[in-house]
Chains A and B, each alone.
Chain A
Amino acid sequence: MSKNKINIIHSTFVPLNIENVDTDQIIPARFLKGTTRDGFGKNLFRDWRYENDDEATPKKDFPLNQPQYNGTILVAGKNFGCGSSREHAAWAILDAGFSAVVSSFFADIFKNNALNNGVLPVTVSEKFLEEIFSQGNEATLTISLPEQSITIDATGIKERFDINSYKKECLINGYDDIDYLLNIKEDIINYETQHA
């Protein structure tokens, strides 16, 4: 399955100024019963989005329910995606239309899951994150993967982010790790023979 290709993302953003957002909040366990990858977006942040689990009563103060916030970039507080390894969290974020998540800190497994699904995790400094949160709802961000940079367009403030060059190539070209691994099957078999 080749993924979304990512190059330059230019968009408004949805702010979620909460720290330690765990994957149980991103997608609660009771919605993990699917056997396909689709359809998780409607339950993204389910329990923060609706009163009493009822889609008829959205919580008005939750950013995803506020029409002034939209865009393909989610900006969240530090330690985003901690907890369970459920890839459903990345699927829900992708399915809800996001192609990048910005935070000052990502949990390891979530970061991998995001990368494996063509969602770009962008790690910025605490200061830069605060700077983004202080912007109004019309502000746009530009994330350039080739340049490894993120810019607040209104102010021109820019920061570089890290990503290993292999992963960067994969995202730009829409390759999968699995394509790479399948190509080195012979090495794997050799390894097995040597270690048997």
Chain B
Amino acid sequence: MGKTLFEKIWEKHIVKTIDDGPSVLYIDKHLIHEVTSPQAFAGIEKRGLQLFRPKQIVATADHNVPTLDQHLPIKEQLSRMQVDTLIKNCANHGIELYGLGHPYQGIVHVIGPELGITQPGMTIVCGDSHTSTHGAFGSIAFGIGTSEVEMVFATQCLLQTKPKQMRINVEGELREGVLSKDIVLYILAKISASGATGYAVEYAGSTIRNLSMEARMTVCNMSIEMGARCGLIAPDETTFEYVYGRNFAPEGIEWIKALQYWQTLYSDDDATFDAEINIDAADITPMITYGTNPGMGIGVNQLVPLGQSLDIKDRPSFAKAMEYMGIEPGSAIRGQKIDYVFIGSCTNSRIEDLRLVADFVKGKHKADEVEVWIVPGSKQVEQQAIEEGIDKIFEEAGFQLRQPGCSACLGMNEDKIPAGKYCISTSNRNFEGRQGAGARTLLASPLTAAAAAITGRVTDVSELLAGYN
């Protein structure tokens, strides 16, 4: 019987399987950051153990870092302490750290791919749920808790139960103004925030194959928002071309060997999936969320649902979300006033995202009352934006280009959205308080966010594009 892409990689990484229990899965690459690693280091030290394979670990500081004046010490004492603890732990255990001030520093899920650390066919873990991003290269990549970080430190292995297999096929051409972020928000609206729990999700179909690596990463990034264990896309020429020549990509004969393996990574024609979903790309319009979980999304021109239209037991949660958001059930989301625009996070902070936004805003200016933050995903993205003159375009538009980090994706560092304010955000979570206590988040694509920056309201970007071309 044929195998799925996931099964091929999975089987290759099994060290052994416990009877009626989980399998021991070997981990190729382990990425760490300052928030979920300190207790794992402490655990290892307490047990008197050494790190088993420190060379397979790469560290960065991203969650707690400020995105202005990064050359100055971190103001907040506890944040500074976490970052300092990471520096100390990495030094003690011989781990490569791309910390603040390093030219490779950035959000962990942006730098892995950018540096060529992320490669097809690998198993990759990180104490961070958006590790699913790396699946865009055809790897098994998933988020783990701190106890599991400790296990990988100690043994380079994890005990894992094989997830079920789901395939989501997207076929056809995308409409104007629709980006890969809209694809994933559309899938989420369709299958809900728990629609893929227990599954590894493979994204397939012509629409997916036509996406760039950056756009594929955006889709895989939000797999966790559907509850999936991981998301993955079969590697192809687009993938190989992206990886080739990057800092840590294999070279020479190693490259040829790697490529031979990578070319075997696809789901066989007769592979079986436990669930399969088909989506027509033409049905997808620019999307936006109106509620407090990422599955609560609609097309920008649609109306927010009415409580009565929902299952009776879903109504209390819905009412709670609407109250938190200050949004009327049944109302139009289009025209909703926006206070902040955040373009960044591991979902949409890559150079391609910044280019798209720059192209669109060139010669335009933001609405007066709106504050616009553009936060590049890494030092390299920031550098490239400056080299390409994108920084100037943003400056003229009144957009603030900040320094790399997780920033306003989560209310942990200095960048927070004030209570009650509306923020259109290219990040991945609109949970209550995610961007700061009381902050109201509307998730959207970089283009939809940029359009809101210009008009100060939720806007259908495809109309602006039509008028603009």
Contact = CB atoms under 8 A, between A and B. Distances in A.
Contact of B317 (A19, A33, A84, A87): A19
B54 interface: no
Interface in A104-134: 105, 107-109, 112-113, 116-117
Interface string B34-78: 011011001100110100100000000001100000000000001
Contact of A165 (B20, B35, B64, B198): B20
Interface string A31-63: 011111100000000010000010000000000
Contact of A181 (B145, B155, B197): B155
A113 to B, nearest CB: 4
Contacts, number: 180
A187 B16 contact: yes
Given A1-B46, A112-B148, A28 B433 contact: yes
Contacts of B431: 22, 24-25, 83
Given A37-B39, A83-B129, A116 B21 contact: no
A8 B195 CA distance: 32
Contacts of A88: 146
Given A18-B320, A35-B42, A164-B161, A107 B227 contact: yes
Interface in B140-168: 143-148, 150-151, 154-159, 161, 163
Interface stretch (B79-87, B372-380, B381-389): B79-87
A163 to B, nearest CB: 11
Given A105-B197, A166-B18, A35 B38 contact: yes
Contacts of B412: 29-30, 32-33
B24 interface: yes
Most buried by B among A24, A37, A113, A117: A24
Nearest to B147: A116
Contacts of A29: 63, 410-412, 434
B145 A24 contact: no
Interface residues of B, number: 66
A145 to B, nearest CB: 16
Contact of A177 (B82, B159, B317): B159
B433 A25 contact: yes
A85 B129 contact: yes
B252 interface: no
B15 interface: yes
A69 to B, nearest CB: 18
Given A24-B432, A79-B227, A85-B127, A184 B147 contact: no
B194 A107 contact: yes
Contacts of A181: 24, 151, 154-155, 157-159
B316 interface: yes
Nearest to A18: B317
A164 B433 contact: no
Nearest to A178: B151
Interface in B296-353: 314, 316-317, 320
Contacts of B194: 20, 78-79, 82, 105, 107
Nearest to B26: A191
Interface string B401-440: 0000000001110000000000000000101111001000
A185 B197 contact: no
B432 A47 contact: yes
A160 interface: no
A178 B150 contact: yes
A85 B36 contact: yes
Nearest to A115: B147
B128 interface: yes
Given A167-B22, A181-B154, 8 more contacts: A22-B429, A24-B431, A85-B144, A87-B147, A112-B144, A166-B18, A181-B155, A192-B156
28 contacts: A1-B43, A19-B314, A28-B433, A28-B437, A29-B63, A33-B412, A34-B78, A35-B42, A37-B39, A53-B437, A79-B193, A82-B193, A84-B410, A85-B145, A87-B39, A107-B194, A107-B197, A108-B227, A113-B146, A164-B20, A166-B18, A178-B151, A182-B49, A182-B155, A187-B15, A187-B16, A192-B26, A195-B12
